[in-house]
Amino acid sequence: MKVIQAYRFALDLTPAQERAVLAHAGAARVAHNWALAHVKAVMEQRAAECTYGVPDHLLTPAVGWSLPALRKAWNAAKTDVAPWWRECSKEAFNTGLDALARALKNWSDSRGGKRAGRSVGFPRFKSRRRTTPSVRFTTGTIRVEPDRKHVVLPRLGRLKLHESARKLARRLDNGAARIMSATVRRDGGRWHVCFTVEVERTERAPSRPDSVVGVDVGIKHLAVLSTGELVSNPRHLNVAQRRLRALGRAMSRKIGPDERTGRRPSKRWQRACARLGRAHARVAHLRNDGLHKLTTRLAREFGTIVVEDLHVAGMLRNRNLARHITDAGFGELRRQLTYKAEWNGGRLIIADRWYPSSKTCSGCGAVKTKLALSERTYTCQTCGLVLDRDLNAAYNLAASAADATTAGSGPVAGRGADRKTPLAGQVAVKRQPGTASAGQTGTVPPQGRTTDHVLTRAHIR
């Protein structure tokens, strides 16, 4: 099975190498800004000519938005725009032009209704101070040295790695991987190189291929599994809030930049800003590390993982819970499970967004009309079941895998439930898609359940 995988390593650059990388990142920014100004000038000129009544065949020729068209225009003007262009690799300028071509296409598709999701605005110019330095190499000499502690990139030469690249080197030596591109980027005050690699992965199978696990994600617990396991939420951002506030106050006392007067930031402000950036980067790294360990364990152990289709963007509109939701990383957890389940030979089932897993009794199937977020214990008025609401939701998610297996499809078919929840105490004689299959109205109570069910559903706590 061939997959596209990324390998990311920290770099230890010398001052001269760092200046060279910054020069390449600056070249990418210059090419991007020049091409954007050129496209905007032509668009505004054509719009003005249309208001004058100029015929279409006499309008100023339009500029192509594709990467080859932008590259052709840049090559014709680079001698005048950037006389120093020979000092940098052509890949640096290609990085900026490629970013603009993608941005213009996304904007055009969003306006034309070809792109789903939020509307995409028109591209903006990149600032030297606010833009993250980055440059991407797709051609030339890109390799890992035999000592596995150095990499070679075009024009930048031999760069030292902060850690060993043995995981990537082994695949390259065995012929099971091919480097497609390399991106050098500065994150959190550290330089990293990220290799995009085409990898030939061996076929794998989970340790328990016939087991099903339901996962209910939340804030109090990061994940509640239908096996009864409670995965605690480390709350990395909350833990770091005291230090982040102190660093933010320290930075506010320094002389920062002022765009209105053109004032440049002081060296002290820049150092304080770097300290704050490193603190935020540490929080992000801790969060990613925890999510990777959890998702890898689930994908390697269970054959079927059930998660819920959460509207995370809508959840973030709750100003009281937005910071806690982003700190938990609901969307990242599902993203990692999506590709790791495929890599390990498992299956990921996405339960419907409107499926009332928290309101449905896992014992008798009765559905409550309302269930406040403050009610942490689920009490069924029909059968008298008393159970933690998150564990009850995990049981229902695990049971919903039966419908997907019967239908022969990946995600649970249909909406799974109407927007309107049935009346309180109503028993689901015929379970909705996304719950237990038909004929399983009286499901086994939690006390008699097997521990082979694990599913993923995230409810705001």
Is the backbone of residue 199 left (phi > 0), alpha (psi -120 to 50) or beta? beta
The rounded distance, in Å, linking the Cα atoms of 77 and 82 is 8
Whether residues 319 and 448 share a domain: the answer is yes
Whether residues 72 and 149 share a domain: the answer is no
For the question of residue 308 being annotated catalytic, the response is yes
Count the helix, strand and coil residues of the chain and give each as a percent rounded to the nearest 5: 40, 20, 40
Exposed, middle or buried, 395 (CB in 10 Å: 0-12/13-18/19+)? buried
Whether residues 8 and 141 share a domain: the answer is yes
Tell me the per-residue pLDDT of 296-307, one tens digit each, with 9 for 90 and over.
Answer: 999 999 999 999
Please report, rounded to a whole number, the percentage of residues in the chain having pLDDT higher than 70: 87
Question: For residue 253, is it within any domain?
Answer: no
Contact 141, 152 (CB under 8 A): yes
Question: For residue 372, is it within any domain?
Answer: yes
Strand, coil or helix: what is 113?
Answer: coil
Query: Does residue 94 have a pLDDT over 80?
Result: yes
Whether residues 438 and 308 share a domain: the answer is yes
Whether residues 35 and 171 share a domain: the answer is no
Question: Which among 200, 221, 252 is the end of a domain?
Answer: 200
Amino acid at 61: P
Q: What is the mean pLDDT of residues 75-102?
A: 95
Question: For residue 277, is it within any domain?
Answer: no
Query: Which residue range(s) make up the domain with 224?
Result: 205-229+300-461
Q: What is the mean pLDDT of residues 130-147?
A: 94
Give ∠ CA 176-89-18 in degrees, rounded to 5: 85
Confidence at residue 165, expressed as pLDDT on a 0 to 100 scale: 95
**Which structure tokens are listed for 206?**
């989970």
Question: For residue 377, is it within any domain?
Answer: yes
Question: For residue 269, is it within any domain?
Answer: no
Nearest to 161 by CA among 18, 9, 8: 9
**Which structure tokens are listed for 133?**
């330095």
Q: What is the mean pLDDT of residues 92-103?
A: 96
Q: What is the mean pLDDT of residues 245-274?
A: 94
Extract long-range pairs of 386-392: CB within 8 Å, 24+ residues apart.
387/362, 387/446, 388/224, 389/358, 389/459, 390/216, 390/218, 390/220, 390/221, 390/224, 390/358, 390/459, 391/216, 391/224, 391/226, 391/228, 391/446, 392/357, 392/358, 392/360, 392/361, 392/362, 392/446
Whether residues 314 and 401 share a domain: the answer is yes
Confidence at residue 403, expressed as pLDDT on a 0 to 100 scale: 66
Q: Using 50, 70 and 90 to split pLDDT, how confident is the model at 314?
A: confident
Question: Which among 68, 83, 112 is the end of a domain?
Answer: 112
Range with lowest mean pLDDT among 27-41, 123-137, 361-375 = 361-375
Question: For residue 122, is it within any domain?
Answer: no
Q: Using 50, 70 and 90 to split pLDDT, how confident is the model at 224?
A: very high
Nearest to 436 by CA among 346, 357, 347: 357
The rounded distance, in Å, linking the Cα atoms of 99 and 67 is 9
Dihedral (CA of 444, 447, 448, 453) sign: positive
Residue 96, H or E segment = helix 90-112
**Which structure tokens are listed for 228?**
């009864």
DSSP-assigned letter for residue 56: G
Exposed, middle or buried, 14 (CB in 10 Å: 0-12/13-18/19+)? exposed
Please report, rounded to a whole number, the percentage of residues in the chain having pLDDT higher than 90: 64
Extract long-range pairs of 71-80: CB within 8 Å, 24+ residues apart.
71/97, 73/35, 73/38, 74/31, 74/34, 74/35, 77/34, 77/38
Confidence at residue 346, expressed as pLDDT on a 0 to 100 scale: 92
Whether residues 340 and 217 share a domain: the answer is yes
The rounded distance, in Å, linking the Cα atoms of 365 and 431 is 8
Whether residues 402 and 317 share a domain: the answer is yes
Range with lowest mean pLDDT among 121-125, 168-172, 199-203, 350-354 = 350-354
Whether residues 403 and 315 share a domain: the answer is yes
Whether residues 406 and 350 share a domain: the answer is yes
For the question of residue 309 being annotated catalytic, the response is no
Whether residues 338 and 375 share a domain: the answer is yes
**Which structure tokens are listed for 66?**
């594709």
Tell me the per-residue pLDDT of 151-167, one tens digit each, with 9 for 90 and over.
Answer: 999 999 999 999 999 99
Q: What is the mean pLDDT of residues 235-260?
A: 94
Question: For residue 250, is it within any domain?
Answer: no
Contact 257, 264 (CB under 8 A): yes
Confidence at residue 438, expressed as pLDDT on a 0 to 100 scale: 32
Strand, coil or helix: what is 317?
Answer: coil
Question: Which among 78, 112, 146 is the end of a domain?
Answer: 112
Confidence at residue 406, expressed as pLDDT on a 0 to 100 scale: 52
Question: For residue 295, is it within any domain?
Answer: no
Catalytic: which of 308, 352, 388, 403? 308
Query: Does residue 447 have a pLDDT over 50?
Result: no
- E-state strands within 226-334: 230-232, 302-308
Query: Does residue 425 have a pLDDT over 50?
Result: no
For the question of residue 390 being annotated catalytic, the response is yes
Query: Does residue 49 have a pLDDT over 70?
Result: yes
Q: How many domains does the chain have?
A: 3
Catalytic: which of 187, 216, 352, 403? 216
User: Which residues lie closer than 8 Å to 16 by C-beta, 6 or more apart?
Assistant: none
Q: What is the mean pLDDT of residues 447-451?
A: 37
Whether residues 311 and 434 share a domain: the answer is yes
Query: Does residue 325 have a pLDDT over 80?
Result: yes
The rounded distance, in Å, linking the Cα atoms of 183 and 154 is 11
Average pLDDT, the chain: 86
Confidence at residue 442, expressed as pLDDT on a 0 to 100 scale: 33
Strand, coil or helix: what is 79?
Answer: helix
